[in-house]
Amino acid sequence: MAAPTGRSGRRAWAALVPAALLCLAARAAAEPGAEPDTVGFDVRPGGEVHSFSRSLGDYSCTFTYSSQGGTNEQWQMNVGISEDNGLFSCSIWRPQGKSYLFFTQFKAEVKGAKIEYAMAYSQAAVGAQNDIPLKQEEFEVTETTVSHREGKFRFELSKLMIVAKTPRDEL
């Protein structure tokens, strides 16, 4: 499921996703032997394709992109697993809010789980500023990826959020 449609669906996801991501991040940080929940990395301009990945247990998230303009920007990636192991989350964002880089492409891919919810933003919330989502036609969501939509993406990206359902062995 991509971004929810309809007012009630948006409100439900707007309440659920931040709470789920906070729980996942707290659990990842508290789990013995778990890696730190948030890791910084540089997003580098220059037109070359770059990737950054994080894994947690059987699940991984890879952010692949190409950008132009400016200098390196510090970004962060957080991965987490829910307490019941039913959800895997991956968040990628620029802590300063808005990126000044011109993204020519982007893709976030999860392995080991199927995407239930994903959203991309042109601006990440910081201070008094709110998240500003991309228009739905600018990006596409499959079972395992969130990526720019060729010819529709307006080159602005500051945040990606993914919540994916993990496979479960039902009795």
Which 8-state DSSP code applies to residue 143? S
Does 97 or 35 have the greater pLDDT score? 97
Is the pLDDT at 87 greater than 50, yes or no? Answer: yes
CB neighbour list of residue 46: distance below 8 Å, 6 or more residues apart: 67, 68
Q: What is the pLDDT of residues 29-75, one digit of tens each?
A: 444 444 447 999 999 999 999 999 999 999 999 999 999 998 999 99
Is the pLDDT at 148 greater than 70, yes or no? Answer: yes
Q: Are 70 and 48 in contact (CB under 8 A)?
A: no
Cα–Cα distance for residue pair 42/101, rounded to 1 Å: 12
Q: Report the pLDDT value the prediction gives residue 170, as an integer from 0 to 100.
A: 56
Q: Report the pLDDT value the prediction gives residue 137, as an integer from 0 to 100.
A: 98
Cα–Cα distance for residue pair 123/159, rounded to 1 Å: 7
Is the pLDDT at 7 greater than 70, yes or no? Answer: no
Is the whole-model pTM more than 0.85? no
